[in-house]
Amino acid sequence: MMRRFLILIAFLPACLLAIDEPEKTTEPESSPEADNPLKLREMIDTLDQSSLQEAFRLLTKDYINHEDLDPLAINRAAMQGLLARLDFGAMLLTEKSLDARKSPFRFYSELVTDNTAYIRFGRFNKPGVDALDKSLEIYSKNEKIKNLILDLRSPQAQADFAIASEILSRFRPPNELLFKIRRPGQDRPTLFISKLMDHTWSGKLVLLVDRETGNVGEIIAGVLKRHNDCLVIGEKTPGLTVEYRDVPIGEDRILRYAIAEVVLEDDSSLFQKGITPDIETPTPLESKRAIFRETQNGKELTEFLFQRQRPRMNEAALVAGTDPEIDYYLLRSNNKPTPWDKPPLQDRALQQTVDMLRMNQFLSAEEK
């Protein structure tokens, strides 16, 4: 299946691939080392302990504003640099930013074509797992449905490993090692084994991921990509596959840092590496979020998959003696809004996925 999908890329419109291609920027060769964080880090990493101490001594003694470099300022700078180096391993948050990291979306499911179903996780919680079972029960009974698009692009602040294991058990055979959690100081990792479930899916899978994919979504994508030979479309994920601990360290300041790491069956780690999609198709985050909100408020996902063109005059209209553009021009002449004033919301990753699945269905029918 993977090979066929990759071949199908050649059939996609060249303009679509050109639009989806991220803009490339080049670093000026004459850029000073201080302006390049990577070069600066490499230079600092070559200094030994005595060199670092000498640098601090000179700065606190001879720097033009050395009186500002008191121990508090130096400690603050050290904390800033440490957090920058640890990347997603540690971060300083506020109560407001904690709430912002929680997913505002709910579970959503829809049949997008006659043979393709779509499932989106919102908060990766128990109600979402129950909703997943209901959807899988419906889709597994429909013999026409051959493909399932699993949308993992919902943010998730803290990983619920039990939920990740439950979801994976719907897509993997029972009694299989899914992933492990390694904790410093513990010789044996915590193992998560798939369980026998009433509702499962064994058909074709396509995963959608992006830079907002949370730690639960990354764990699911990592396991399924390794075992299910499924296609992954979207953007590279951040690599948040750890267990965090939140500790208040000041007024409205919370230090979140990693205390355990999730590894796959073969001990490979996704932390700070993330999931690299098979086909990179960036989708603007605001467009994706807007579509998520619209579908939660009652609109069908297919409204954003198949764009409705504005009616225009053509030969058929001339023969019939009608003017399909009259309604549009009447609204414009009366300074009233029309359905075509705003550009339609587009989820490029999802649209490309559906197009590829439809082409695959067409080519499979041709082969028969």
For residue 18, tell me if it sits in a domain: no
The predicted-structure confidence for 250-265, as pLDDT tens digits, reads as follows: 888 999 999 999 999 9
Co-location of 319 and 362 in the same domain = yes
In this structure, are 60 and 155 located in the same domain? Answer: no
pLDDT given for residue 19 in this prediction: 38
**Which structure tokens are listed for 24?**
């490339």
Helix (H) / strand (E) element for 308: namely: none
Residue 10 lies in a domain: no
Domain boundary among 236, 265, 280: 280
Residues 188 and 266 in one domain: yes
Residues 123 and 257 in one domain: yes
Which 3 state secondary structure label does DSSP give 146? coil
182 shares a domain with 82: no
Nearest one of 301, 310, 315 to 347, comparing CA atoms:
301
Residues 126 and 255 in one domain: yes
- Co-location of 175 and 319 in the same domain: no
Does residue 17 sit within a domain?
A: no
pLDDT at 335: 86
Q: Are residues 241 and 114 in the same domain?
A: yes
180 and 212 assigned to the same domain: yes
Residue 81 lies in a domain: yes
Q: What is the pLDDT of residue 126?
A: 92
Q: Is residue 94 part of a domain?
A: no
Which long-range contacts does 192-197 make (Cβ < 8 Å, 24+ apart)? Answer: 192/161, 192/162, 192/164, 192/165, 193/165, 194/165, 194/168, 194/169, 195/165, 195/166, 195/169, 196/169, 197/133, 197/169, 197/170
What is the token pair recorded at 332? 């414009």
For residue 172, is it left (φ>0), alpha (ψ between -120 and 50) or beta?
Answer: beta
Residue 95 lies in a domain: no
- Cα(215)–Cα(362) distance, integer angstroms: 36
Residues 331 and 361 in one domain: yes
pTM of the predicted model as reported, rounded to 2 decimal places:
0.79
DSSP annotation of 294: H
- Rounded-to-integer distance, Cα 80 and Cα 71, Å: 14
Q: Do residues 341 and 239 share a domain?
A: no
Domain endpoint, select from 44, 68, 89: 89
Q: Find residue 118's DSSP bridge partners.
A: 110, 149
How far is residue 50 CA from its own chain's centroid?
A: 43
pLDDT of residue 265: 92
Residues of the chain where predicted confidence (pLDDT) is lower than 50: 1-30
Are 351 and 219 in a shared domain?
no
The domain boundary residue, chosen from 89, 114, 134: 89
The answer to whether position 311 is within a domain reads yes
62 half-sphere exposure, CB direction, 13 A CA radius: 5
pLDDT value, residue 62: 93
Task: Establish if 24 belongs to a structural domain.
Answer: no
Q: The domain containing residue 325 runs over which residues?
A: 285-367
Helix (H) or strand (E) holding 158: none
Complete DSSP assignment for 209-275: E-TT--HHHHHHHHHHHHHS--EEEE-------EEEEEEEEETTEEEEEEEEEEEETTS-B-TTT-P
Number of compact structural domains in the chain: 3
- Nearest Cα neighbor of 256 from 270, 240, 269 is 240
